[in-house]
Amino acid sequence: MATSKTTTAKATTAERTASRTAARTASDRAASARLDVPKTYKLFIGGAFPRSESGRVTEVTDAKGRFVANVAKASRKDAREAVRAARKAHPGWAGATAYNRGQVLYRVAEVLEGRKAQFVDELVRTEGLTAARAAKQVEAAIDLWVWHAGWTDKIAAIAGNANAVAGPYFNISVPEPTGVVAIIAPQTDGLLGLTSVVAPALVTGNSVVVVPGSAQLSAISLAEVLATSDLPGGVVNVLTGDAAELAPWLASHADVNALDLTGAGELDWITLEQSAADTLKRVLRPEPGIAPETPQRILALTETKTIWHTKSRL
């Protein structure tokens, strides 16, 4: 380049044009020679992005069967690590103020908004949606995060109560998070389906181990958003892979407190429910499509704590 600059000073117009053309072709060549930097979509466990312990991956292809990306395929040991991470993160998240949880969930929506294009692109490539429909889905997901962010400090007001008792006592009931929730996410609607099950669990302070459905790429990209949204590591853990393989281990795991089978309609969910009953888990049964956007869904993953306290007599 330095040489070409010095020669240009003395060069004729024709020479200058020729040299410019040469430079352009060189840069074109450089552009086409740049190697692809394909992304490996890894798991999300305890705030980190490890590969599967098993070393397995699944190929994700587009609607026409062309290769898009490799996605880590989680094993039962990854599920065990995810539950351990979720258990470790639970006290901190459940103990955060409702106001703080709301801020974090709202932040998720903000960061998602900034990375909308990436999510649209992934949905277009893997789910075969048109760009317009993909954008609509991503926007709906963002709105759903905002909707849930709003509920964090209001849910106790509709589910809690100051109970009337026959004695000089305060008697107060409040909803508390169930604990570690294992979720089989809806098989459809990608990012929106995933949000519809993960967000309601997070509102009251549960920590989550989620097996995403079809939207494996969106799930890991969402994990990247969660990791940069002040959500403490381990509160959400994403295990891409085969739900039929992972679900039995999560359903029987003694340290999982609730099992959300919303997207498990195609699995042998009755066996999963029976297995969950061994350790008295709260179970949500499969539903078609995405989970409905209701406060009941948030409350389905809570336990009611009732406190008696003496009234002082001054």
Partner 1 sequence: MTSPRPASASQALAPAERAVQLLGGDLSEVALRQHLEGLPTVDAVGLEARAASFGTRSIKTTSKAAALDTVIRMIDLTTLQGSDTRGKVRSLVAKALVPDASDPSTPRPAAVCVYGDMVGNAVEALGSAWSAGKDDGINVAAVATAFPSGRASIGVKLQDTRDAVAAGADEIDMVIDRGAFLEGNYGKVFDEIVQTKDACRRDDGTYAHLKVILETGELVTYDNVRRASWLSILAGGDFIKTSTGKVQPAATLPVTTLMLQVVRDWERLTGERIGVKPAGGISTSKDAIKYLVAVAETCGEAWLDPHLFRFGASSLLNDVLLQRQKLTTGRYSGPDYVTID
Binding site for partner 1 (CB under 8 A): 80, 83, 87, 249, 252-256, 275, 278
Which amino acid appears at position 179 of this protein? Answer: G
Shortest separation between residue 80's beta carbon and partner 1, angstroms = 6
Q: Specify the residue, 15 or 255, whose C-beta has the smaller distance to partner 1.
A: 255
Q: Tokens representing 268?
A: 């042998």
Nearest distance from C-beta of residue 252 to partner 1, angstroms: 4
Q: Which is nearer to partner 1, 83 or 211 (CB)?
A: 83
Cβ closer to partner 1: 89 or 192? 89
Enclosing H/E stretch for 208: strand 207-211
- Of residues 171 and 252, the one with the C-beta less far from partner 1: 252
Smallest separation (angstroms) from partner 1 to the CB of 71: 24
Instruction: State the nearest-atom distance from the C-beta of 5 to partner 1, in Å.
Output: 54
HEC per residue, 57-90: EEEEECCCCCEEEEEECCCHHHHHHHHHHHHHHH
Cα-based distances in Å from 190 to 110, 123, 200: 19, 7, 16
DSSP string covering 94-130, please? HHS-HHHHHHHHHHHHHHHHHTHHHHHHHHHHHH---
C-beta separation of 86 from 71 below 8 A: no
CA distance 40 to 51: 9
Nearer of residues 112 and 208 to partner 1, judged by Cβ = 208
- Find the shortest distance in angstroms from Cβ 253 to partner 1: 4
Looking up tokens 């539903």 gives 287
Q: Which is nearer to partner 1, 173 or 252 (CB)?
A: 252
Give dist(CA 115, CA 75) in Å, integer: 29
Alpha carbon distance 47, 229 (integer Å): 11
Nearest approach in angstroms of CB 292 to partner 1 is 30
137 within 8 A of 269, measured Cβ to Cβ? no
CB of 79 to partner 1, least distance (A): 8
- Residue closer to partner 1 by CB (options 151, 249) is 249
